[in-house]
Amino acid sequence: MVDGAYYASSSETADCSYYGEFLDANQPPEQEIGAPVINPGGVTDALDTSMGWEYVDTSGYISIWGLWLDADKTDMNPQVTVDDPTHIQLGTPSYVSDGQINVPFTITAGVATGGGSPHNITVTTTYGTSEPPDELYIYDATPAIQSVSQTPWTAGSTYSGVTISGSNFGTICPSVAISGAGATTFTVTTGTCTNSSVQGTVRVDPNATGSSPSVNATLTLTSGGYGQGFQSAPGGSSQAPFPGVEVLAAAPTITRVTLSPNVVGSNGATMTINGTGLSGATPYLPSGFSITKTSGSSTQMTLTVNIALSVSYGTNCCYASVQSAAGKSSGSAVFTVDGPGYLVVTGSSMGHCGGCSTTVKLFETYQIMSGVSKTAFSTVPVCETPVLSNWSCSQAQSGMTYNRCNVNPGTATGGAFTDGWGLTSDTYTPVGCGYPTSGGSQGITDEWLFNPAGATVQWKMGNLYGYILANSVSINGYVDGMPVGTLIEP
């Protein structure tokens, strides 16, 4: 019997010496093994066979699909080559069969990318080299952000050295945009860009949160690719959004407060508050201030206020603060309110008490001066607290009339008033008796005070002391009259 293929042509049996399988008469003989053949589109990712491409700066496995890739199953080391072995490094196949080869790869930056720059893959066995070669495309992977440092951010603040970490950023510095936080910006720092991180400076809009306590901003990184522009794979993108970056409302600040006019009793005074985060904020002022109008911007607030006479006054006496619409409060800032401060003698005359011909009475006219600006003050209510001592007359001392605080205060019209010191009758004896200075004790002390209606505290303007006799009066060391211009301090 000659070796070869034999076919059954009838149902008859034959006695022959060939042992083996009889083939169907219609089956063609086995095809001769030849050079490897790669299927069209037969180079794919090993894990995702629908993906006929790989990405820059990645490692993994590719699968090559075709025929006679393992020759006659005796050649377990087919050679797989690529046209750019410098940037596409292929390893020893990890799996080989007649129809599939899996090959490890590493792709580095500098490789030609994009749909217009495919790379040829060939397989060589003892039977020859695949022809034509198949194509592997290399694209830039969609970037992804994993973390952003120095968060949360506060409105109005600046943060340097903020690091965005992730993958597939490219070797060209990416651009970074921030949305959802007003005009907040991210400026990339030159020389800090890698494929997995970039650093920059964040400047947060002072009004980033509006009237909310906080907002969530979205940071979007746009890759610049690897030197050939960003080459996007099918369905890919050059952008990596990173939502949920919390931005907190900043507490407003006050850098300066001015008030004009700044005098107690002023209506329609203008207060200007300078600072940050003032837009929509609510001002708070001490008791006695009433706000009738508010306007301004994020850096300046203008108030129209009425200042009661009862307001405590002095240099840096008072405090202003603001609270933002988001409920954040500023620190307090001091400002000055002016009020009656001291007295100046503007006139002095000696006369007699009412109905008297011999008993003297000294009349002094005083001008109230403001404590801060040192200028003449306007019409205000005044009162006094005289204390008499050392009565030396034989007769009982008579009553005394004066302007009692919160009972019958007087009015200093135009800030001026006249005060008279003297006994009330010619009948007192011995001659020259009255309220003398004795043993270091003054015959009279008399404080003049500013006495606004409703105030529980009066503010001292001048302190007077001396003696009152039937024939002489002394005030603050001056006998029978003080020179014009004499200052009377509290």
Residue 14 has pLDDT above 50, yes or no: no
412-436 pLDDT per residue, tens? 999 999 999 999 999 999 999 999 9
Cβ atoms 122, 85 nearer than 8 A = no
- Beta bridge partners of residue 82, listed in sequence order: 121
Closest CA to 446 of 431, 468, 428: 468
The residue-averaged pLDDT of 447-467 equals 87
115-170 pLDDT per residue, tens? 999 999 999 998 999 998 999 999 999 999 999 999 999 998 999 999 999 999 99
Q: Is 258 left (phi over 0), alpha (psi -120 to 50) or beta?
A: beta
Q: For 78-92, 97-111, 388-402, which range has the lowest pLDDT when averaged over its residues?
A: 388-402
Position 60 confidence tier, pLDDT thresholds 50, 70, 90: very high
pLDDT of residue 1: 38
Rounded distance, CA 475 to CA 444, Å? 9
305-362 pLDDT per residue, tens? 999 988 888 999 999 999 988 888 999 999 999 999 999 999 999 999 999 999 999 9
H or E stretch at 369: strand 360-370
Q: For residue 152, which amino acid is it?
A: P
Q: Which residue has the higher pLDDT, 62 or 78?
A: 62
Closest CA to 199 of 174, 162, 229: 162
pLDDT of residue 119: 96
Q: Which residue has the tokens 């004066």?
A: 402
The residue-averaged pLDDT of 56-71 equals 93
Closest CA to 223 of 160, 289, 174: 174
Residue 20 has pLDDT above 50, yes or no: no
pLDDT of residue 68: 92
Residue 30 has pLDDT above 60, yes or no: no
pLDDT of residue 459: 86
Rounded distance, CA 125 to CA 96, Å? 12
Non-local (6+) Cβ contacts of 5 within 8 A are 23, 29
For residue 426, the 8-state DSSP code is S
Residue 18 has pLDDT above 60, yes or no: no
The residue-averaged pLDDT of 10-29 equals 50
Closest CA to 330 of 249, 447, 393: 249
Q: Which domains does the chain have, with CATH numbers?
A: 37-139 (2.60.40.10), 144-248 (2.60.40.10), 253-337 (2.60.40.10), 341-488 (no CATH)
pLDDT of residue 9: 46
pLDDT of residue 332: 95
Rounded distance, CA 279 to CA 277, Å? 6
268-302 pLDDT per residue, tens? 999 999 998 888 899 999 999 999 999 998 899 99
Averaged confidence pLDDT in the chain: 90
pLDDT of residue 5: 43
Encoding tokens for residue 50? Answer: 């629908």
Q: Which residue has the higher pLDDT, 96 or 457?
A: 96
Closest CA to 336 of 271, 266, 272, 258: 258
